[in-house]
Chains A and B, each alone.
Chain A
Amino acid sequence: MANALPKPVQRLINEFARLPGIGPKSAARLTFYLLRVGDEQALELADALRDLVERTRFCSVCFNITEADPCELCSDPNRDDHLLCVVEEPLDVLAIERSRAFHGRYHVLHGAISPVEGVGPEDLRIEELLARVAQNRLQEIILATNPTLEGESTALYLQRRLGDAVPKLTRLARGLPVGGDLEYTDEITLGRALEGRQEL
C-alpha cells in the first residue's frame, strides 16, 4: 500500500511519537489537530520550540535551565550565599522554590548515579559542584537528591567527595506526607519519620 500521507505530515507524526508518553495514535491526533486549527497556532508552536532551543541554556553557576546567564536564582542578591541545595533535576528546583522554605542557592546535578543506565559521577555536574564549594565559603550543603536507591547512592558519593569541605552536610528529612493517614503509611516511611522525630 502506498503511503497516503504527505511527507511533512508523516514527519511531524514521527517526531511527536518520539516524545515520552506519546504513542503513534496520539502523535497522529496532535498532527491533524495542528493541520486543522490553522496556521497561526501551528506557527506559534514552532516558534516556541525554536525559542526553547535558541534562548535557553544551562546556567554556568548552578546548571539550572535559564535564559540569562547566570540565572535569576544565582544573581538574586537577596538569597543566602552560605546555603547550597543540591538537586537531581531542574524540576526539583521548582518544587523546592514552591515550598518557599529555602532561600539559599542551588546546584543541579542533572541525574543520579545509576550504573544500570550507564550514569556515573562523571556524567553529573559533580566536578562543577566541588569547584563551587572550593571557591565559596559555604556553611551548609543540603543534599536533596531523591530517596531512591540512585538518589541515596549519589548523596553518599557526594558525602565522600565533599569530605569536610563544608561545615555542615545535611539530607532532607523523610517523614509523613501531609494529609496522610498513619494507618496507610508503609513501615519504612513510618520508621524513618520516627527516626527523624522532633522535640516539641
Chain B
Amino acid sequence: MYISHLSLTNFRNYGRLELDLSPGATLLYGQNAQGKTNLLEAIYYLATTRSPHAEYDNQLLNWDAAETEEPVVVGRLVAQAQTATETKRLEMRLILERNGRARPNSFRREVLVDRRKMRLMDLLGHLRVVLFLPEDVQLITGSPAERRRYMDITLCQIDTAYCRSLSQYNKVLEQRNALLRQIAEGSGSLEVLPIFTDKLITLGSQIVRRRALFLAGLARETQRVHYESLTNGRETIRLQYLPRLAGNGPPEQESVASGEWLSTEEATPTSIKTQLAEVLRQIQPADIARGVTSVGPHRDDWRFLLNGRALSSYGSRGQQRTAILALKMAEINWMTAVTGEQPILLLDEVMAELDAQRRAALLHTVQSAQQAILTATDPAMFTAEFLANTTSLQVSNGRISYAESTGISGQ
C-alpha cells in the first residue's frame, strides 16, 4: 500500500500542507526543527490514532492556531491510501473548543473514512506502517509498559478484533479495580465481583492468546533476519513472551513464566482461561487488600534473549541496536505475510547511527518497499545511486519543496 496524497491543516508546525507522494522511496531532508519528524508523525497518527511523541493529543494542534481567539479550532489530517484493491480517504480531525473563561477548553477527535463519520477505532487497518526511530532501542531497556504498547499498536494495525477486545478489557479492568478498592473499604459488593472477573478472564485470555501467536510469528522472523542479514549467523536471538499468568515477583525471577507454550497446540482458549481464572481466584484476597488486579495481560511483558541471555542486561548497545533493527525488519515481513500487502515504512534519522553492514541491509529493505519515507539532515550520507532512485523533498519551516537540481535531485 502507499499514500498518494497527504494534506495537513494546523498540524504541528504545518499550517497548511498539500503533498503528493509517490510509491518508492522519498527522502525528506532539511535542518533540525523544520518538520521532518512531524510529517512522519502525521502519517503514523493516521495509521494508528496514536502519536509516538506527544503525551496528549491536543499538543498536535498547531499552537499558533490554538492560541487564537477563535471559539473552535480544527486540525485536519487527510491521506489518500491506495491498496491493491481500493482507494480510501482517511481523515482525522482534532477539534479544540473554547468554553469561555470559567471552563476548561474541550478537545475531541473525529474520524472520517471516505467522508463518512466513524468511530476512532474504524480508522485502524486502512493504513499500515512500520516506524523506525533512533530511540527504538529503549524498547529493550525501557519499562514493560513500552513493550506492551509496541505489541498493542502493531497488532491493532492488523487485527481490529484484538483492538476491540483490548479496549473492552481496559474498561473491565478499570471497573474491577474500582470495585476491589470499594470492597476493601467495606462498601463494594462481593457479589458483583465475579461478573467483572468473568469478563476479565474471557477478554484477557483472548488477548493473551493473540499476543502469544503474534510474538511467536514475529520471533521466528526476527531470528531469521538477525541471523541471515545482520550478524552473518554469528548470534542467535530469541524473542520471549512473558505473560503475567502467575502470582507475584518480576518476570525475570520466574524461570517458569515463559509464555512460549501459549502459542503451541497445548494452549487452547479454554486452557488459558482456566489458568487465568485459577490464578485470579488464588490472589483474590491479596488483590482486594491492594485494590488492584495484579495478574492479566495488562501486566504482560516480553524480552529478547541473545545467545540465551537477557539482552537488556547482558547485551552491548550495538547488539541491542541490531536486535531492534531485526525486530522492525521482521515486523515488515510479518505484516506483509498476514495482510498480503506491504506496510509503509517511516524512518526517522535512523541511518546515521548504523554501521555499514546494517545500513546496507536496511537500505535494501527500503528499496524493496512499496513506499518508504525517510528523513535526514544531510542527504550526502546516501549514495548517489540511492538518491537517483529516490524522490528528495526539502523541508523548511513547515513547508515542503522539491529539491533543486543540485545533484541530489530525484527523477
Contacts and interface: CB of A to CB of B under 8 A. Distances in A.
Interface string A18-50: 000001110000000000000000000000000
Contacts of B164: 188
Interface of B: 99-103, 116, 119, 122, 160-161, 164, 168, 171-172, 174-176, 178-179, 182, 187-189, 191-192, 195-196, 198-199
A157 B103 contact: no
Nearest to A17: B102
B189 A153 contact: no
Nearest to B121: A186
Query: Which 8 pairs show the lowest CB-CB distances between chains A and B?
Result: A115-B178, A115-B179, A116-B178, A24-B100, A156-B195, A23-B99, A24-B102, A153-B195
Contacts of B189: 120-122
A185 to B, nearest CB: 11
A120 B182 contact: yes
Contact of B199 (A114, A118, A149): A149
Nearest to B181: A115
Contacts, number: 60
A153 B199 contact: yes
A150 B116 CA distance: 29
A122 B161 CA distance: 35
Given A118-B182, A186-B122, 8 more contacts: A24-B102, A115-B188, A115-B196, A121-B192, A122-B189, A149-B171, A156-B195, A157-B195
B179 A187 contact: no
A21 to B, nearest CB: 12
Contacts of B161: 187
A122 B189 CA distance: 9
B177 to A, nearest CB: 8
Nearest to A122: B189
Contacts of A160: 191, 195
A150 B175 CA distance: 9
A149 B100 contact: no
Contacts of A121: 189, 191-192
Given A114-B175, A186-B122, A149 B99 contact: no
B174 A116 contact: yes
Contacts of B191: 121, 157, 160-161
Contacts of B99: 23-25
A153 B187 contact: no
Given A149-B199, A184-B116, A116 B175 contact: yes
B112 to A, nearest CB: 13
A153 B100 contact: no
Interface of A: 17, 23-25, 113-116, 118, 120-122, 149-150, 153, 156-157, 160-161, 184, 186-188
A156 B198 CA distance: 11
A149 B122 contact: no
6 contacts: A23-B100, A115-B188, A115-B192, A120-B189, A149-B199, A153-B175
A147 to B, nearest CB: 12
Contacts of B160: 187
A17 B103 CA distance: 10
Contacts of A156: 195, 198
Contacts of B188: 115, 120
Nearest to B99: A23
A23 B182 contact: no
Nearest to B182: A115
Contacts of A149: 168, 171-172, 175, 199
B196 A25 contact: no
Given A120-B188, A184-B116, A115 B175 contact: yes
A150 B199 CA distance: 12
